Amino acid sequence: MAERTEAAKPDAAEEKAEHTEKKPCCCHKKKERSEKEYKDLIHRLNRIEGQIRGIRNMVEQDAYCPDILIQVAAANAALNSFNKVLLGNHLRTCVANDIREGHDETIDELLKVLQRLMK
């Protein structure tokens, strides 16, 4: 894979700043992520995005249905894995901190999220 020149390639902090400036969050809360957590999540999403593009290419090239279905299952598994990592990070940081600070409503929020995830 060809690498972009350093001048054209934004560093992770710039990418993070661009992301936050361009797309406002859909909720009122925000989370400060460590550089490692941020890079891991972005890396996972980039891989998933590549899988989805691959599935689209398979459809465009009239690939055999079972072959496409297997790739869709792999993309679903990658999204589930992303959710598990994100949820684990959320529990270890946001939820734990809120509980320590006496914000019990965070538990109700977490239960609602889990109910939506388990549909």
- Provide the residue-wise pLDDT of the chain in tens; the chain has 119 residues: 333 333 444 455 555 555 444 444 455 678 889 999 999 999 999 999 999 999 999 999 999 999 999 999 999 999 999 999 999 999 999 999 999 999 999 999 999 999 999 98
State the DSSP code for 5.
Answer: P
Count of C-beta atoms within a 10 Å radius of residue 98: 16
Q: List the chain domain ranges.
A: 34-117
State the DSSP code for 94.
Answer: I
Rounded (5°) CA angle 53-58-43 = 25
Fold of 34-117: Methane Monooxygenase Hydroxylase; Chain G, domain 1 (1.20.58)
